Structure 1
């Protein structure tokens, strides 16, 4: 399959518009060697064909489409290579880009879980608003391990331990389906994708270990990253993200994967020191064989 990383940052992008942390101020001034990033989303096509699947629709989707010609094959007066959209959760940085796809001439094919559909019809009623434009052809993502097909790709969802969006009534009492990971197959290779991941349970680790490539939560370096900077009282785990460093962190878990597994981090917060390409934290990842996604990265599996 052919994967294009459209956006690799967490909510707010990098640099974040109102942030003057070391990373954001440094990338603006040129004193930190780092690449700007839009909010996380990927596009996957099978080896044959131009059409593929958009995983998450970030608020930056129009910029991402303009930057990646494979999403606009120009076969007709109005065209798109996006055969369907899959939402991993209902977060603002993963769902509000749906508004920007409203000019479709036919209902937008959309796959999401029932809890996400509920949140996007009530607390943040995107689906109801789109009904006044192109409309949505919504398909429910099964949570029992049943595979489903989109545009030549086979998908299988795993419920994850994380948090729903702040506007969800279940914010502090998540249920299965608020957040998912996906095993994505094309008959030749398998990818595990989970941009929001608060805990690696045995089924999640089994899915990661069986994949050729894992593309997972890279939001924070430490659990106390935001409180330490004075930006929030909540830790990484409080808001549903497993930090990379420390006991039980993402680096430790990735170190247990088979040697053949390619390991990448996505959904990277603007405060995370791994964005600085000269940082000790970035060097730690390199020694561990872990890559940091950037916008425009293309991967063939």
Structure 2
């Protein structure tokens, strides 16, 4: 199984266009050892030709152009993208669908019923695409059940619901439902290798812990280092968990969680521009390295 990180940043990317925080300002001045990052998305394949796209960020055009394996190969109009799995309906994970409107066939989109509702009402991307290529929607299970995608028969996908919040535009923003956010285990049938992808984790539920223990590679929520990171940066008073993200540090943070996962390669993804781990020389980054945790970056390729 081949995994390509198309984008490793949180909403807004890094640097964020209007942000003058410690990280963004130093990156622009060339004063920090780091890499810029576009908004989070990955692609997965079993043959390096047919790909499943996970999320479609506003940066998708740049991400796809930087990835030759997914470029058109057959005919005038073509793409290596055979299906798209949406983790949630957040703007930074779905706006890129509009950039795919030139597709010569309907987009095969796998997402929960709640995500479908959001993308048909509060942010009606699906309705907009009806005037272009159209959408074939496939409902994803919320209980860990598996499904396959016809054009990628060697991969199996197990999806389960995660505790989180719907986007601010959602009609049920303050009324959480199962399926607002999902985690996915991607299993290669021929090899048995497994990846767990969950860029938004507000709580480590029992089925999340079980998923982490059974896979060979993790790509999980790396949004914030501290619970009050946004306040410390002088941006707002929202806490990490209030926004649906488990911080890395602290007695019950992601570092402590991942200490219990011994067999898997561990990567953080969906990293906010305020997070000190973006500085490769920072004490926080060194703490991650000591814990056996890597930080994903755009263009990272993982072979399982």
Q: Same fold (TM over 0.5)?
A: yes
Deviations 1:123-142 (A, max 9, x none): 00000000000000111111
Q: Mind listing any 5+ residue stretches in structure 2 that lack a counterpart?
A: none
Distance 1:205 1:214 in 2: 11
CA contact (8 A) 1:50 1:73 kept: no
CA contact (8 A) 2:2 2:48 kept: no
CA contact (8 A) 1:274 1:282 kept: yes
Which stretches of structure 1, 4 residues or longer, exceed 3 Å deviation after superposition? none
1:109 correspondence with 2:111: no
Distance 1:239 1:173 in 2: 14
TM-superposed CA distance for 1:253, in Å, is 0.2
Distance 1:91 1:133 in 2: 22
Distance 1:171 1:228 in 2: 26
CA contact (8 A) 2:48 2:69 kept: no
With normalisation by structure 2, the TM-score equals 0.97
Partner of 2:246: 242
Distance 1:65 1:205 in 2: 32
Task: Decide whether aligned partners of structure 1 residues 227 and 109 sit closer, same or farther in structure 2, where only a CA change above 3 A counts.
Answer: same
Distance 2:48 2:290 in 1: 37
Distance 1:146 1:30 in 2: 47
Distance 2:53 2:161 in 1: 19
The DSSP-based 3-state class of the residue aligned with 1:145 is: strand
CA contact (8 A) 1:13 1:37 kept: yes
Partner of 2:185: 183
Distance 2:237 2:125 in 1: 29
TM-superposed CA distance for 1:73, in Å, is 3.9
Distance 1:243 1:231 in 2: 17
CA contact (8 A) 1:24 1:270 kept: yes
Distance 1:122 1:233 in 2: 29
1:251 correspondence with 2:255: yes
The DSSP-based 3-state class of the residue aligned with 2:94 is: helix
The DSSP-based 3-state class of the residue aligned with 1:248 is: coil
CA-based RMSD: 0.9
The DSSP-based 3-state class of the residue aligned with 2:268 is: strand
Distance 2:174 2:233 in 1: 24
TM-superposed CA distance for 1:10, in Å, is 0.1
TM-superposed CA distance for 1:170, in Å, is 2.2
TM-superposed CA distance for 1:49, in Å, is 5.2
Partner of 2:87: 88
CA contact (8 A) 1:7 1:39 kept: yes
Partner of 2:235: 231
Give the alignment of 1:150-299 within 5 angstroms: 150=149, 151-152=152-153, 153-187=155-189, 188=191, 189-258=193-262, 260-299=263-302
TM-superposed CA distance for 1:79, in Å, is 1.1
Partner of 2:23: 23
TM-superposed CA distance for 1:143, in Å, is 1.3
TM-superposed CA distance for 1:75, in Å, is 1.9
